[in-house]
Structure 1
Amino acid sequence: MTPKKISGAILLTVIAALLSACSASGEDELQQWMVSERNSIRPSVTPIPEPSKFDPKAYTGESLEEPFSNSKLASILRSGQSVQLSNSSLIEPELNRRKQPLESFPLDVMSMVGSLSQQSQLVALVKVDNLLYQVRPGNYLGQNFGRVERITETEVVLREIVQDASGEWTQRPAALQLQEEASK
């Protein structure tokens, strides 16, 4: 035999040996291992608790008067009218005074951007529509007759006068907090 034939025979035997290693017997062992592992694992699942029983209740509010009916509102207005007149006369907006420029804007479009001290009194810097305004105690802000009560380094505290549902004038506190703009 020639050396070419010998090397070809050796090559064929090596290929045959490799192919025999990839026979079905290796797959059978793998399948048997998968089945045994699958059978050995038992999951522990806690059962879902039974839902609680729903007990429906009958609605008993049909006989009551509706909370927003005209008759209920009229009776409340009639019963408290004398008290409202005396209380309302104590708290009323000054309708005859000249409006200040910042009263034409709602408070939610205003932002306090700083404060400075002028003649030992704090003055707030309020920004509206990219314009800066100086605000002092006693100035008016917002559309609800808001009068500035005091100014600190971080907020402008004011008192607004608004009408409630019955038409009575009441006071409510409001404030503008210092807003720091993010640098670009």
Structure 2
Amino acid sequence: MKKILMTLRPVLLIAPALLGLAGCSDSANLSELDARIAEIKARPRGRIEPPPEFKPIATFSYGAHQLRAPFTPPVEEVPTDVPQGRKVEPDLTRPREYLEGYTLDALRMVGTINRPGEPLQALVLDPTGAVNRVRVGSYMGRNFGRVTEVNETRVSLMEIVPDGHDGWVERPRAVTLSE
């Protein structure tokens, strides 16, 4: 039985291929197909309607992106009065530091560095994702904020802001350690 299958094996493999080729021969009757194609081509052609015209929609411009984010706590802004005889003004001639290009709300304290023999430095994350070192005397924020104290949990600074009467007042602010 095995010997018979071995001899018939080539025939069994070639037979389906020959049947498939027989279906592709020119002897098939294609007149029905040709008649159907001629009928479709003879039909009157329809007109395609133009697409509808769309009216432009007015774009919306979000204007509150400069304001405080709704999920951050409000910052206490308690302006201190200028003592008599002392005039407060920002030093407009000094070169601006890198962190003065951002608002304090955009800056986050992420840690501290304490090296022997050096004052404690805070690590502040800016909106670009870069971590910057800040020490007492550094400036940060857009309102001439000078760092007055750095401890393990916060950076205290004194900003100089306009008082609304052609003058300036000092305002204490702080950036606290983010969790």
With normalisation by structure 1, the TM-score equals 0.49
Shift of 1:116: 1.2
Shift of 1:90: 2.0
Equivalent residue runs for 1:89-168 within 5 Å: 90-118=87-115, 119-128=117-126, 129-168=128-167
Letter in 2 for 1:117: N
Shift of 1:142: 0.4
CA displacement 1:98-126 (0-9 Å, x = unmatched): 11111011100000000011234110000
Structure showing greater radius of gyration is: 1
Shift of 1:96: 0.4
Supply the distance in 2 between the matched residues of 1:144 and 1:165 (Cα, whole angstroms): 14
Does the residue aligned with 1:179 lie in a helix, a strand or coil? coil
* 2:175 matches 1:176: yes
Supply the distance in 2 between the matched residues of 1:134 and 1:121 (Cα, whole angstroms): 12
* Higher RCO, Cα 8 Å, sep 6+: 2
With normalisation by structure 2, the TM-score equals 0.50
Report the identity percentage.
Answer: 41
Greater helix proportion: 1
Shift of 1:140: 0.3
**4+ residue segments displaced more than 3 Å:** none
Letter in 2 for 1:104: G
Equivalent residue runs for 1:36-55 within 5 Å: none
Supply the distance in 2 between the matched residues of 1:167 and 1:176 (Cα, whole angstroms): 28
Ranges in structure 1 where 5+ consecutive residues have no aligned partner? 1-83
Supply the distance in 2 between the matched residues of 1:176 and 1:154 (Cα, whole angstroms): 9
Letter in 1 for 2:138: N
